[in-house]
Amino acid sequence: MPLVKGGNITADPFVHLADRADLPADGDVLVLAARLLEDPERCLARAGKAGVIWPNNRDVDDLVPHLERLAVVALVFPTFRDGRAYSQARLLRERFAYRGELRATGQVLRDQFVFMLRAGFDAFEVKKQADAEAFAQTVKRYSVFYQPTGDGRLTALHRRMQLRHSESAGL
């Protein structure tokens, strides 16, 4: 599956581990939520980065104690009509200040891409190469937004206020 990150199509350095697959001693891995919660020390205290695939029907509060040690949180969109992962993303970014990679996985569709960016996602697993190319272009297309959200970008209002402040300060 192509991965779009930072507006570029890139190789995924993380290996997606099956539920009971052996946990390698090193290398970057993505484990399922149940496995992480069952034995967090084994998953997180190994050489290489660790990430988790977090289903949208699990409370992100269960993930909070492990956030500082997770390089990736992959939130799942099981269908395009199910938007619970948007709420999870905003909670992770805004309430819990998660600064690692926040990845959208599952039914990641072109027409929802900008909304995912605004919710705080910064990486996207897509099913088709054509979608990956469209996503990479979309990242570059929009630079100013009116609504504040979890992606950390300044709103149009805040940009105007900064400009007025710097003009009045003679900068």
68 within domain boundaries: yes
Range of the domain at 105: 3-142
7 within domain boundaries: yes
User: Looking at the 3D structure of the chain, how many domains does it have?
Assistant: 1
- Determine the Cα–Cα distance for residues 139 and 150; give it in Å rounded to an integer: 15
Give me the pLDDT at residue 146, please.
Answer: 67
Would you say 61 and 83 are in contact if contact means Cβ atoms under 8 Å apart? no
Give me the pLDDT at residue 33, please.
Answer: 95
163 within domain boundaries: no
Give me the pLDDT at residue 98, please.
Answer: 96
154 within domain boundaries: no
Give me the pLDDT at residue 154, please.
Answer: 73
Give me the pLDDT at residue 127, please.
Answer: 84
Residues of the chain with pLDDT under 50: none
Going from the C-alpha of 55 to that of each of 17, 48, 84, 85, 146, the distances in angstroms are 15, 23, 9, 8, 30
Q: Give the DSSP letter of residue 155.
A: B
12 within domain boundaries: yes
168 within domain boundaries: no
149 within domain boundaries: no
Predicted structure pTM score: 0.82
169 within domain boundaries: no
Which CATH number goes with the domain that contains 12? 3.20.20.70
Kindly provide the residue ranges of all beta strands, DSSP E only, lying in the chain, ordered along the sequence: 3-5, 8-10, 15-16, 29-32, 50-54, 72-77, 101-106, 123-125
